[in-house]
Amino acid sequence: MIDIRPFAGLGHAAHGWLDARHHFSFANYHDRARMGWGAIRVWNDDTIAAHTGFDPHPHRDMEIVTYVRSGAISHEDSLGHKGRTAAGDVQVMSAGTGIIHAEYNREDTATTLFQIWILPDRGGEPPAWGQREFPRGGKDDGARARRWVTLASGTPEDGALPIRADARVLAATLRPGETLDLDLDPSRHQYLVAPVGRIRVNGHDAQPRDGIAVTGETMLTVEALEDAELVLVDAR
C-alpha cells in the first residue's frame, strides 16, 4: 500500500516566527486517521525565522531526529550539550527519562528542517544527544548520489547516529531519470518525503514535500523526475 499525502493537505500552524506543516497529528492539529505511522509518531516540516526558535521545554520517552534542510539549528539542553547542526546534517536526541532542551535559529536567514519523532523500544534509560555531519556533495559525486545512506539507526551501522528504536533514517539524492531501489519488509512501515524534486514511487507520482506512507511492499523503487533529495524512515 502506498498513500500519497499532498503537502497542501498537511496540518498547518503559522506562528509568525515558525511556519510548520504536520504530517501527523501534533499540537493543535488533530486527525484521528493520522496519529502516526507504525512507530513514527511525528514528522514536522518547519521553517524557523532568523534569530528565533524554541525556548527550553521538556521531552521524555521519545527518539527525536532533526534533519536540517537549509540554514542551521543550534541546540542546548539540561545535560550541558551544545551544538550547531547545519544543512544536510542530523542531530538525534534520545529523551529517555527526561530532558529539557532549546532549539534556536541563530542564523541571518530562515532555517528549514524536518523533525521526526520515533517511539522508543525501551524506557528507563538516561537521556542522550548527538550530531553528525553527512555532507551531501553534488548530485554526481556526493556520498548520497544514487545510493541510500543511513543517518540514524537502532542497530549499529558505520557512521550512523544511534537511536533506541527498531528504525532507521535514510537519505539519498538522484538526478532526473535515475532510479533507486530499497528492499522492504512488508510488515514494517516506511515514510518518505522528497524535500526537493518531483519523484515517482512504485508508479505513484509525488510533489516536493508530499508525504508518502508505505506498508505491505517488498520493494520500493524511486524515480527522480527532476533533481531530487530523499529522506526515508523505516520503522516497525
Question: SS3 letters for 137-203?
Answer: CCCCCCCCECCCEEEEECCCCCCCEECCCCEEEEEEEECCCCEEEEECCCCCEEEEEEEECCEEECC
Residues 177 and 109 in one domain: no
Which of 101, 132, 163 represents a domain boundary (last residue)? 132
Residues 122 and 165 in one domain: no
**What does the pLDDT profile of the chain (236 residues) look like in tens digits?**
999 999 999 999 999 999 999 999 999 999 999 999 999 999 999 999 999 999 999 999 999 999 999 999 999 999 999 999 999 999 999 999 999 999 999 999 999 999 999 999 999 999 999 999 987 655 455 789 999 999 999 998 878 999 999 999 999 999 999 999 999 999 999 999 999 999 999 999 999 999 999 999 999 999 999 999 999 999 99
Domain membership flag for residue 142:
no
Residue pair 57/98 in contact (Cβ under 8 Å)? The answer is no
Residues 153 and 127 in one domain: no
pLDDT of residue 137: 59
pLDDT of residue 157: 81
> What's the number of domains the chain is made of?
2
Domain membership flag for residue 143:
no
Distance CA 109, CA 77 (A): 23
Residues 16 and 109 in one domain: yes
Residues 35 and 108 in one domain: yes
Domain membership flag for residue 181:
yes
Residues 207 and 171 in one domain: yes
Domain membership flag for residue 141:
no
Residues 17 and 122 in one domain: yes
Residues 26 and 91 in one domain: yes
Residues 103 and 178 in one domain: no
Which of 97, 132, 167 represents a domain boundary (last residue)? 132
Which of 132, 164, 187 represents a domain boundary (last residue)? 132
Q: Could you tell me the residue range of the domain that residue 191 belongs to? A: 149-235
Q: Could you tell me how many helices (H) and strands (E) the chain has, helices first?
A: 0, 22
Q: Which three cell numbers stand for residue 85?
A: 547542526
Place of cell 532555517: 111
Residues 15 and 128 in one domain: yes
Q: What is the tens place of the pLDDT at every residue in 67-122?
A: 999 999 999 999 999 999 999 999 999 999 999 999 999 999 999 999 999 999 99
Q: CATH no. for residue 190?
A: 2.60.120.10
Strand 161-162 to 149-153 pairing: parallel
Nearest to 38 by CA among 185, 179, 231: 185
Cα angle 148, 209, 142 (rounded to 5 degrees) comes to 30
H or E element that contains 41: strand 40-48
How many whole angstroms from its chain centre is CA 230? 10
Residue pair 114/45 in contact (Cβ under 8 Å)? The answer is yes
Q: Please tell me the number of Cα atoms within 13 Å of 74 on its side-chain side.
A: 11
Distance CA 111, CA 47 (A): 6
Residue pair 22/219 in contact (Cβ under 8 Å)? The answer is no
pLDDT of residue 12: 98
pTM exceeds 0.85, yes or no: yes
Domain membership flag for residue 81:
yes
Residues 88 and 172 in one domain: no
Residues 28 and 125 in one domain: yes
